[in-house]
Protein backbone atom coordinates (compact mmCIF):
# COMPACT_ATOMS: atom_id res chain seq x y z
CA UNK A 1 0.00 0.00 0.00
CA UNK A 2 1.27 3.44 -0.91
CA UNK A 3 1.56 6.28 1.59
CA UNK A 4 -0.39 9.14 -0.02
CA UNK A 5 -2.38 12.21 1.04
CA UNK A 6 -1.55 11.82 4.74
CA UNK A 7 -0.42 14.24 7.43
CA UNK A 8 2.92 12.86 8.60
CA UNK A 9 5.46 13.93 11.20
CA UNK A 10 9.07 13.02 10.42
CA UNK A 11 11.35 13.61 13.39
CA UNK A 12 15.00 14.12 12.55
CA UNK A 13 13.81 15.13 9.10
CA UNK A 14 16.86 17.26 8.33
CA UNK A 15 19.14 14.27 8.73
CA UNK A 16 20.38 11.80 6.15
CA UNK A 17 17.57 9.24 6.43
CA UNK A 18 14.82 11.65 7.43
CA UNK A 19 15.36 14.03 4.52
CA UNK A 20 15.29 11.17 2.02
CA UNK A 21 12.02 9.93 3.50
CA UNK A 22 10.55 13.45 3.30
CA UNK A 23 11.58 13.86 -0.34
CA UNK A 24 9.83 10.62 -1.23
CA UNK A 25 6.67 11.41 0.73
CA UNK A 26 6.28 14.91 -0.70
CA UNK A 27 6.25 13.39 -4.18
CA UNK A 28 3.13 11.48 -3.08
CA UNK A 29 1.15 14.55 -2.01
CA UNK A 30 1.61 14.02 1.71
CA UNK A 31 1.69 16.96 4.11
CA UNK A 32 4.92 16.73 6.06
CA UNK A 33 5.95 18.24 9.36
CA UNK A 34 9.68 18.03 9.98
CA UNK A 35 10.94 18.34 13.57
CA UNK A 36 14.70 18.73 13.92
CA UNK A 37 17.05 20.59 16.28
CA UNK A 38 19.83 20.67 13.63
CA UNK A 39 22.45 19.17 15.96
CA UNK A 40 23.30 16.52 13.37
CA UNK A 41 20.71 17.40 10.73
CA UNK A 42 21.43 20.05 8.12
CA UNK A 43 19.33 22.85 6.70
CA UNK A 44 20.80 22.12 3.28
CA UNK A 45 19.12 18.69 3.37
CA UNK A 46 15.66 20.27 3.54
CA UNK A 47 16.32 23.52 1.68
CA UNK A 48 14.69 22.20 -1.49
CA UNK A 49 11.44 21.49 0.39
CA UNK A 50 10.98 24.95 1.91
CA UNK A 51 9.01 26.30 -1.04
CA UNK A 52 6.62 23.32 -1.01
CA UNK A 53 3.31 24.31 0.65
CA UNK A 54 2.98 20.76 1.96
CA UNK A 55 6.19 21.05 3.99
CA UNK A 56 6.42 22.57 7.45
CA UNK A 57 9.74 22.79 9.31
CA UNK A 58 9.79 23.13 13.08
CA UNK A 59 13.22 23.78 14.56
CA UNK A 60 12.70 22.04 17.85
CA UNK A 61 13.97 19.30 20.10
CA UNK A 62 12.42 15.95 20.97
CA UNK A 63 13.72 16.39 24.52
CA UNK A 64 11.28 19.30 24.85
CA UNK A 65 7.75 17.97 25.31
CA UNK A 66 6.23 21.26 24.10
CA UNK A 67 8.08 20.94 20.79
CA UNK A 68 6.83 17.37 20.47
CA UNK A 69 3.24 18.44 21.16
CA UNK A 70 3.50 21.23 18.59
CA UNK A 71 4.89 18.86 15.96
CA UNK A 72 2.37 16.08 16.64
CA UNK A 73 -0.68 18.34 16.46
CA UNK A 74 -2.72 17.56 13.34
CA UNK A 75 -0.69 14.59 12.17
CA UNK A 76 -1.83 11.01 11.57
CA UNK A 77 1.45 9.09 11.41
CA UNK A 78 4.89 9.55 12.95
CA UNK A 79 8.10 8.34 11.32
CA UNK A 80 10.56 8.79 14.16
CA UNK A 81 14.12 9.10 12.85
CA UNK A 82 15.52 11.57 15.39
CA UNK A 83 18.38 10.23 17.51
CA UNK A 84 21.93 10.95 18.52
CA UNK A 85 23.73 8.30 16.53
CA UNK A 86 27.24 6.82 16.65
CA UNK A 87 28.64 4.22 19.00
CA UNK A 88 31.87 6.21 19.66
CA UNK A 89 29.92 9.37 20.47
CA UNK A 90 27.75 7.45 22.94
CA UNK A 91 30.87 6.14 24.69
CA UNK A 92 32.21 9.69 24.99
CA UNK A 93 28.88 11.18 26.11
CA UNK A 94 26.42 8.55 27.35
CA UNK A 95 24.33 11.08 29.27
CA UNK A 96 23.52 13.17 26.21
CA UNK A 97 22.91 10.04 24.14
CA UNK A 98 20.43 8.77 26.72
CA UNK A 99 18.73 12.16 27.02
CA UNK A 100 17.99 12.34 23.31
CA UNK A 101 17.47 8.70 22.42
CA UNK A 102 15.48 7.61 25.48
CA UNK A 103 13.88 10.73 26.96
CA UNK A 104 13.22 12.13 23.50
CA UNK A 105 11.65 8.91 22.31
CA UNK A 106 9.43 8.77 25.38
CA UNK A 107 8.30 12.35 24.71
CA UNK A 108 7.33 11.43 21.16
CA UNK A 109 5.32 8.43 22.32
CA UNK A 110 3.55 10.48 24.99
CA UNK A 111 2.72 13.25 22.52
CA UNK A 112 1.47 10.65 20.03
CA UNK A 113 -0.90 9.32 22.68
CA UNK A 114 -2.12 12.82 23.61
CA UNK A 115 -2.78 13.74 19.96
CA UNK A 116 -4.40 10.41 19.04
CA UNK A 117 -1.70 9.42 16.57
CA UNK A 118 -2.14 5.68 16.43
CA UNK A 119 0.74 4.58 14.18
CA UNK A 120 4.35 5.33 15.10
CA UNK A 121 7.20 3.84 13.06
CA UNK A 122 10.54 4.32 14.77
CA UNK A 123 14.17 3.83 13.81
CA UNK A 124 15.60 0.98 15.85
CA UNK A 125 19.15 -0.32 15.37
CA UNK A 126 21.13 -3.45 14.59
CA UNK A 127 23.34 -2.45 17.53
CA UNK A 128 20.67 -4.08 19.70
CA UNK A 129 22.13 -7.49 18.80
CA UNK A 130 25.14 -6.63 20.93
CA UNK A 131 27.53 -9.47 21.68
CA UNK A 132 25.40 -12.16 20.03
CA UNK A 133 27.61 -14.24 17.74
CA UNK A 134 24.75 -15.84 15.81
CA UNK A 135 24.44 -15.16 12.09
CA UNK A 136 22.19 -14.19 10.52
CA UNK A 137 20.67 -11.89 13.12
CA UNK A 138 17.07 -12.86 13.87
CA UNK A 139 14.78 -10.38 15.60
CA UNK A 140 13.88 -12.41 18.69
CA UNK A 141 17.44 -13.47 19.54
CA UNK A 142 19.65 -10.65 20.83
CA UNK A 143 22.74 -10.43 23.02
CA UNK A 144 24.03 -7.96 25.59
CA UNK A 145 24.56 -4.34 24.41
CA UNK A 146 28.14 -3.24 23.75
CA UNK A 147 27.67 0.53 23.96
CA UNK A 148 25.44 3.19 25.54
CA UNK A 149 23.97 3.81 22.08
CA UNK A 150 22.92 0.16 21.84
CA UNK A 151 21.33 0.36 25.30
CA UNK A 152 19.25 3.39 24.30
CA UNK A 153 17.96 1.76 21.12
CA UNK A 154 16.98 -1.38 23.02
CA UNK A 155 15.18 0.73 25.62
CA UNK A 156 13.19 2.28 22.75
CA UNK A 157 11.93 -1.17 21.85
CA UNK A 158 10.98 -1.87 25.47
CA UNK A 159 9.07 1.40 25.74
CA UNK A 160 7.32 0.68 22.45
CA UNK A 161 6.10 -2.63 23.80
CA UNK A 162 4.80 -1.00 26.98
CA UNK A 163 3.01 1.81 25.11
CA UNK A 164 1.37 -0.61 22.68
CA UNK A 165 0.00 -2.64 25.59
CA UNK A 166 -1.03 0.21 27.88
CA UNK A 167 -2.24 2.84 25.44
CA UNK A 168 -3.26 0.84 22.37
CA UNK A 169 -0.71 2.51 20.08
CA UNK A 170 0.47 0.78 16.92
CA UNK A 171 4.27 0.79 17.06
CA UNK A 172 6.67 -0.71 14.57
CA UNK A 173 10.45 -0.67 15.03
CA UNK A 174 12.86 -0.91 12.12
CA UNK A 175 16.33 -2.16 13.03
CA UNK A 176 18.48 -0.43 10.44
CA UNK A 177 21.66 -2.18 9.34
CA UNK A 178 24.44 0.19 8.20
CA UNK A 179 22.42 2.47 5.96
CA UNK A 180 24.23 4.42 3.23
CA UNK A 181 23.37 6.67 0.31
CA UNK A 182 22.76 10.22 -0.86
CA UNK A 183 23.00 13.03 1.70
CA UNK A 184 24.98 10.94 4.19
CA UNK A 185 27.42 13.30 5.87
CA UNK A 186 31.06 12.50 5.00
CA UNK A 187 32.44 15.00 7.49
CA UNK A 188 33.10 14.96 11.20
CA UNK A 189 34.54 12.50 13.67
CA UNK A 190 31.39 10.38 13.68
CA UNK A 191 30.84 10.02 9.94
CA UNK A 192 29.69 6.59 8.80
CA UNK A 193 32.15 4.23 7.16
CA UNK A 194 31.19 4.45 3.48
CA UNK A 195 31.11 8.27 3.11
CA UNK A 196 34.30 8.52 5.14
CA UNK A 197 36.09 6.05 2.86
CA UNK A 198 34.75 7.81 -0.24
CA UNK A 199 35.86 11.22 0.97
CA UNK A 200 39.37 9.93 1.62
CA UNK A 201 39.68 8.42 -1.85
CA UNK A 202 38.37 11.54 -3.59
CA UNK A 203 40.88 13.62 -1.61
CA UNK A 204 43.65 11.23 -2.66
CA UNK A 205 44.13 10.05 0.93
CA UNK A 206 44.40 6.51 2.25
CA UNK A 207 41.12 5.43 3.85
CA UNK A 208 41.55 3.97 7.33
CA UNK A 209 39.82 0.74 8.32
CA UNK A 210 39.45 0.24 12.07
CA UNK A 211 40.70 -3.32 12.56
CA UNK A 212 42.10 -5.77 10.03
CA UNK A 213 39.25 -5.46 7.52
CA UNK A 214 37.87 -8.92 8.22
CA UNK A 215 34.84 -7.53 10.06
CA UNK A 216 31.58 -7.64 8.13
CA UNK A 217 28.42 -5.57 7.82
CA UNK A 218 25.04 -5.81 6.10
CA UNK A 219 25.20 -2.52 4.19
CA UNK A 220 21.76 -1.21 3.24
CA UNK A 221 20.95 1.40 0.59
CA UNK A 222 18.71 4.31 1.60
CA UNK A 223 15.91 3.39 -0.83
CA UNK A 224 15.41 0.09 1.01
CA UNK A 225 14.91 2.05 4.24
CA UNK A 226 12.37 4.36 2.61
CA UNK A 227 10.46 1.31 1.39
CA UNK A 228 10.45 -0.26 4.86
CA UNK A 229 9.11 2.93 6.45
CA UNK A 230 6.30 3.17 3.92
CA UNK A 231 5.34 -0.48 4.38
CA UNK A 232 5.39 -0.16 8.16
CA UNK A 233 3.30 3.02 8.07
CA UNK A 234 0.62 1.54 5.82
CA UNK A 235 0.35 -2.14 6.73
CA UNK A 236 -3.15 -3.33 7.64
CA UNK A 237 -1.87 -6.75 8.68
CA UNK A 238 -2.62 -6.93 12.41
CA UNK A 239 0.16 -9.49 12.88
CA UNK A 240 2.66 -6.99 11.45
CA UNK A 241 1.93 -4.30 14.04
CA UNK A 242 3.77 -3.99 17.37
CA UNK A 243 6.76 -5.80 15.99
CA UNK A 244 10.43 -5.08 15.31
CA UNK A 245 12.00 -5.81 11.93
CA UNK A 246 15.47 -6.02 10.47
CA UNK A 247 15.89 -3.60 7.57
CA UNK A 248 18.84 -4.75 5.50
CA UNK A 249 19.78 -6.54 2.29
CA UNK A 250 20.54 -9.90 3.84
CA UNK A 251 24.07 -9.83 2.40
CA UNK A 252 27.38 -9.93 4.28
CA UNK A 253 30.09 -7.52 3.10
CA UNK A 254 33.62 -7.60 4.53
CA UNK A 255 35.13 -4.16 5.05
CA UNK A 256 38.33 -4.88 3.13
CA UNK A 257 36.27 -6.03 0.13
CA UNK A 258 33.97 -3.04 0.42
CA UNK A 259 36.83 -0.54 0.37
CA UNK A 260 38.35 -2.25 -2.65
CA UNK A 261 34.98 -1.99 -4.40
CA UNK A 262 34.76 1.71 -3.58
CA UNK A 263 38.24 2.21 -4.99
CA UNK A 264 37.25 0.41 -8.19
CA UNK A 265 34.09 2.48 -8.65
CA UNK A 266 35.80 5.80 -7.92
CA UNK A 267 38.73 4.99 -10.20
CA UNK A 268 36.33 5.24 -13.13
CA UNK A 269 36.08 8.95 -12.35
CA UNK A 270 39.71 9.46 -11.34
CA UNK A 271 42.35 6.91 -12.38
CA UNK A 272 44.80 8.13 -9.70
CA UNK A 273 42.56 6.63 -7.02
CA UNK A 274 43.41 3.06 -8.01
CA UNK A 275 47.00 3.59 -6.80
CA UNK A 276 46.00 4.66 -3.29
CA UNK A 277 46.85 2.33 -0.42
CA UNK A 278 44.42 1.28 2.30
CA UNK A 279 45.45 1.88 5.92
CA UNK A 280 44.49 -0.10 8.99
CA UNK A 281 44.07 1.19 12.53
CA UNK A 282 42.99 -0.06 15.94
CA UNK A 283 39.61 -1.65 16.38
CA UNK A 284 36.99 0.66 17.86
CA UNK A 285 35.64 -0.08 21.32
CA UNK A 286 31.99 -1.08 21.25
CA UNK A 287 31.95 -2.21 17.62
CA UNK A 288 30.56 -5.61 16.75
CA UNK A 289 32.72 -7.94 14.66
CA UNK A 290 30.16 -9.35 12.23
CA UNK A 291 26.69 -8.35 11.16
CA UNK A 292 24.29 -10.09 8.80
CA UNK A 293 20.52 -9.76 8.94
CA UNK A 294 17.76 -12.20 8.33
CA UNK A 295 15.07 -10.24 6.51
CA UNK A 296 12.57 -13.09 6.41
CA UNK A 297 10.27 -11.53 9.01
CA UNK A 298 10.04 -8.23 7.12
CA UNK A 299 9.44 -10.09 3.87
CA UNK A 300 6.71 -12.27 5.34
CA UNK A 301 4.80 -9.71 7.41
CA UNK A 302 5.51 -6.40 5.62
CA UNK A 303 6.13 -7.67 2.09
CA UNK A 304 9.55 -5.99 2.21
CA UNK A 305 11.66 -6.65 -0.88
CA UNK A 306 14.93 -4.68 -1.05
CA UNK A 307 15.00 -2.67 -4.27
CA UNK A 308 18.81 -2.36 -4.23
CA UNK A 309 21.45 -4.91 -3.38
CA UNK A 310 24.78 -3.64 -2.06
CA UNK A 311 26.43 -3.24 -5.46
CA UNK A 312 23.44 -1.42 -6.96
CA UNK A 313 23.33 0.85 -3.94
CA UNK A 314 27.05 1.57 -4.11
CA UNK A 315 26.82 2.52 -7.80
CA UNK A 316 24.03 4.99 -7.06
CA UNK A 317 25.75 6.37 -3.97
CA UNK A 318 29.11 6.83 -5.69
CA UNK A 319 27.51 8.88 -8.44
CA UNK A 320 25.90 11.12 -5.82
CA UNK A 321 29.13 11.52 -3.83
CA UNK A 322 31.20 12.32 -6.87
CA UNK A 323 28.82 15.10 -7.85
CA UNK A 324 28.54 16.29 -4.25
CA UNK A 325 32.28 16.70 -3.74
CA UNK A 326 32.90 18.25 -7.13
CA UNK A 327 30.15 20.81 -6.58
CA UNK A 328 31.69 21.65 -3.20
CA UNK A 329 35.07 22.39 -4.81
Active site members: 149
Residue positions counted in the chain: 329
Query: Which residues partner with 123 through β-bridges?
Result: 174
DSSP secondary structure string, 284-316?
PTT--S---B--HHHHHHH----S--HHHHHHH
Residues 6+ apart with CB under 8 A from 114: 69, 72
Alpha-carbon dihedral sign for residues 144, 164, 73, 65: negative
- Report DSSP state, residue 283: P
C-alpha–C-alpha distance, residues 317 and 312, integer Å: 9
d(CA 254, CA 237): 36
Three-state secondary structure of 90-126: HHHCHHHHHHHHHHHHHHHHHHHHHCCCCEEEEEEEH
Burial class (CB within 10 angstroms; exposed 0-12, middle 13-18, buried 19+) of 218 = buried
In our burial notation (b when 16+ CB lie closer than 10 A, e otherwise), range 299-324 reads: eebbebebebebeebbebbbeebbeb
Q: Which residue in 278, 248, 280, 250 sits closest to 262, CA to CA?
A: 278
- Identify the bridge partners of residue 244 per DSSP, sorted by sequence position: 173
Amino acid sequence: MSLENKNILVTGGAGFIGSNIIEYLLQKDNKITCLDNLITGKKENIEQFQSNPNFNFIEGDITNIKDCDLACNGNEIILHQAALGSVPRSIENPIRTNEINVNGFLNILWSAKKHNIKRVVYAASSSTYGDSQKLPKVENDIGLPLSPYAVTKYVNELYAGVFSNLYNLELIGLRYFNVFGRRQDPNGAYAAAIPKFVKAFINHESPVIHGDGSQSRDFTYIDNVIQANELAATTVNKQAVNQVYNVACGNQSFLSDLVEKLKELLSKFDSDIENLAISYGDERIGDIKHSLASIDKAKNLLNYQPSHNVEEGLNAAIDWYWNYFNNKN
